Chains A and B, each alone.
Chain A
Amino acid sequence: MCLALPARVISIDDGEMAVVALEGIKKRISLALVEDVSVGDYVLVHVGYALHKVSEEEAERTLALMSKAGVLSAEIEEIEGAEA
C-alpha cells in the first residue's frame, strides 16, 4: 500500500497532470501533491500521484555512503586476513 516507484516525467499537461515512464510503461498521474516538477525529473509515484521528487544528488550521496561501508569491509577483511 505504501509502495511507490520512481518514474521519469515525460510530459506535463494543464499543470496538474503528467505522463510518467517506468520501464516502457507510460502512466498518466496527478501532480497535485508536488511543486516545481519539470519534464525529466524523477518522481515517486504512489496510487496515481507523484508524492515527492527524487533527489539525484542525495541518491548519489547515499550510494557513496554505502560504498564507504565497502571500504570499511575491505579493511576488515585485510585485518582479518593479516591475523589469519
Chain B
Amino acid sequence: MKYIDEFRSHDLAEKLATAITHEAATGRDYHLMEFCGGHTHAIFRYGVQDLMPPNVHFVHGPGCPVCVLPVRRLDDAVELAERHGVILCTYGDMMRVPGTKQRSLIRAKADGADIRMVYSTQDALKIARDNPDREVVFFAIGFETTTPPTAVAIVQAQREGITNFSVFCNHVLTPAAIQHILQSPEVRELGTVTIDGFLGPSHVSSVIGSQPYEFFAEEFQKPVVIAGFEPLDVMQSTLMLLRQINEQRHEVENEYTRVVKPEGNLKAQALVGDVFELRSEFEWRGLGTVPYSALKIRESYAAFDAEKRFALSEKVSREVKSCECPAILRGAKKPTDCKLFGTVCTPDNPMGSCMVSSEGACAAYWTYGRFRTNADGTAATKEAAE
C-alpha cells in the first residue's frame, strides 16, 4: 500500500536503528513521551522498542481518547440510552469500556438499550433521518482529529433541519493535556516521571498544525517532534529528538511533513471554531480536572447539544478498584505494574479503559506479548516463568 509499505521498510529500519544507537551513545538516559496511543501501538507492534539502545525509554502518554474519558461521562451515556430511551450512536471503541459497577454500553445493549455502533458521524445522521420519531444522540469522543467530523454533522443537521439529532460532546484538546502533564507533581516535584522530549501527535497535528506546541516547547524547554504513525516515522522522529536533546535544543520539528503543515487544516479549524467553544475545565481519567482542555457546543447550536436536551442525573461514578489506568495514563506506571494486568484484566474481560481501547497502553502490552519477556529473554512476570 502506497505511503504505508515504504514506511515499514526493514532495511531502512536497521539503518535508522544504527544511527539512533550512535546518537544515544552519550552515557545518559533518554525518556521520550509518545503522547498518542497510536504511537504506543506502533512501538510495540513493530518491535521498535527492541531496536532501541537500552538507555532510550518510551514513556506512554494519555493520548487515547477512550482511555481518558472519565467514568462519569460513560455512565451519562448509558443513562441516555437506558433512561431517556434514545438511539445512542457510538464509535466501536467505546462499547466495551467498563463504567460504574462494570456496566458498559455493550451490557446496556444486551439488556435492550438501543445502542448502535457507527463508523462515521454520517452514519449517525442517517440513523436520525431514518428514525424521525426517535431521538438520536451521537456519543462524541476524541481529540482534535475526531472533532471536525462531529462539527460537520452538527452543521449538516442544522442545514437539513434534522431536529431529532443531538451530540453528547466529550471532545478534548491535546496541547492542554501535554501542558498539564508537564506541570504535574510527578514531573515537577516528585521526579517520578522524567520526560526529556515528546513524540508529537500525527493526525491531531494534521488538523491543528505544529504551531500550538511552540508555547510549551519554549516554556518547559522540551523538544517536540511531530511523528507519523508508521514505525519508520517513529524511529526517524526518535533520532531527531535525540539530536535536539544532545544539542540542548527545544524546538518543534515536524517529521510528518507529508501530512502535517505548520498551519494545519484551516477549513477544519474554522468549522470547529464555528460549532464549539472551550469548556473552562473538564475531568480526564488519570489527569484529574484540566483547565480549558475540552470543547462544548456553542449557544448558536444549542439545539443539538444532548446535555441541554436531556436532564442527566447527578450520580456517583466509580472506577474499578485497584485498576491502575489513571497512573498509567500519566506515565507514572507501566501496565505491568498493575496487579490486575493479565490476571483479572484482559481484552476479553477488561477492567479498565486502557485494556479495551485499541490505543490503550495495556492493550498494546497484552496484544504484542511484550510483557512476557524482558529484553534479555528472561520472563518478565512470574506467570510467564511458570
Q: Find B12's partner among A3, A5, A66 (CB 8 Å cutoff).
A: A66
Q: Give the CA-CA distance A33 to B121 in the complex, in Å.
A: 13
Question: Shortest beta-carbon distance, A76 to chain B, in Å?
Answer: 5
- State whether A44 and B206 are in contact (beta carbons under 8 Å apart), knowing that A6-B3, A33-B149 are contacts in the complex: yes
Residues of chain A lying within 8 A (CB to CB) of residue B358: 3
Q: Smallest CB–CB gap between A19 and chain B, Å?
A: 14
- Tell me whether A44 and B38 are in contact (CB under 8 A): no
Report how many residues on chain B are interfacial, defined by Cβ distance under 8 Å: 64
Chain B contacts for A54, CB-based, 8 A: 3, 258-259
Contact, CB under 8 Å: A33 / B148 = yes
Cα–Cα, bound, A23→B3 (Å): 12
Contacts of A5 in B (CB 8 A): 4
* Secondary structure class of chain A's binding surface, majority of residues: mixed
- Interface membership of A34, Cβ < 8 A: yes
The tally of residues in A whose CB lies under 8 Å from a CB in B reads 41
Q: Does B77 contact A (CB under 8 A)?
A: no
Contact across chains for A67 and B12 when beta carbons are under 8 A apart: yes
For B268, list chain A residues within 8 Å (CB): 33, 51
Residue of chain A at shortest CB distance from B236: A66
Whether the pair A2, B239 counts as a contact (CB closer than 8 A) is: no
B123 with A48: CB separation less than 8 A: yes
Q: A47-B149, A49-B148, A54-B3 are in contact. Are A70 and B119 (CB under 8 A)?
A: no
13 A–B contacts, CB within 8 A, in A order: A2-B143, A3-B359, A5-B4, A6-B3, A22-B1, A33-B267, A51-B145, A56-B258, A62-B257, A63-B12, A65-B236, A70-B12, A70-B15
A sample of 14 more A-B contacts (CB under 8 A), given A54-B259, A59-B3, is: A1-B91, A2-B359, A30-B152, A33-B152, A44-B206, A46-B146, A49-B148, A51-B265, A51-B268, A55-B259, A62-B255, A72-B22, A73-B19, A76-B18
Instruction: Show the binding face of A for B, using Cβ within 8 Å.
Output: 1-6, 8, 22-23, 29-30, 32-35, 42, 44, 46-49, 51-52, 54-56, 58-59, 61-63, 65-67, 69-70, 72-74, 76-77
